[in-house]
Amino acid sequence: MDRTDGQEPARTPNIKKGINEMIKRLLTYIALVAVAFMFVLPDANFVGSIVLAGFVVMPIYIPYSIWAGGREIDKWGENFLTGRTRADYLESNPDSFSNGKFKSCHQCGEKSVYLKQLGNTKHGIHQGHICRGCGTELWRSNLS
Ligand SMILES: [Zn+2]
């Protein structure tokens, strides 16, 4: 069951969106370098400048953006628990617990929580503890 009428838990940085972003930037850089070539090289034509710019930009930008994307995912995994642990949740919502045991969701009062895997990095398997009633992510934990 996956309710979405609450706060949608944050997932690993979206790969598909990242690739779209990468392609957009790649085309922008190629266009900019092509324009630069047309100014700098006296005999450069439009198509030739774009091809040349592609050969210059692609071998630099593609490996760089793959590296940067990996780093972004690692950082996300590293900071996954920051301020979002069960202890943090207990501290900000003491009424949701009795004797240190989870009692009910602070939003809707539901007693049942399920685990949702939100990502997997070198820092562990990252999971959200989600309220079955309203879909709010209550706290987070890592499996290593
Ligand atoms: Zn709830």
Q: Compute, in angstroms, the gap from residue 105 CA to the centroid of ligand 1.
A: 5
Looking at residue 56, its pLDDT comes to 95
Q: Compute, in angstroms, the gap from residue 109 CA to the centroid of ligand 1.
A: 6
What is the rounded (10 degree) CA torsion for 50, 52, 55, 57? Answer: -60
Looking at residue 60, its pLDDT comes to 96
Looking at residue 18, its pLDDT comes to 84
Question: Of 95, 91, 86, which Cα lies nearest the Cα of 113?
Answer: 86
Start-to-end Cα distance in the chain: 25
Q: Give the position of tokens 């979002």.
A: 84
Looking at residue 85, its pLDDT comes to 97
Looking at residue 15, its pLDDT comes to 79
Amino acid at 54: G
Phi first, then psi, for residue 106 (nearest 5°) are -70, -20
- Residue ranges in the chain whose pLDDT is less than 70: 1-12
- What are the structural domain ranges in the chain? 15-78, 86-143
Q: How many CB atoms lie within 10 A of CB 89?
A: 20
Looking at residue 5, its pLDDT comes to 45
User: Looking at the whole model, is its pTM more than 0.85?
Assistant: no
Q: Compute, in angstroms, the gap from residue 117 CA to the centroid of ligand 1.
A: 18
Looking at residue 94, its pLDDT comes to 96
Looking at residue 11, its pLDDT comes to 65
- Find how far residue 53's CA is from the centre of its chain: 30
Q: Compute, in angstroms, the gap from residue 138 CA to the centroid of ligand 1.
A: 8
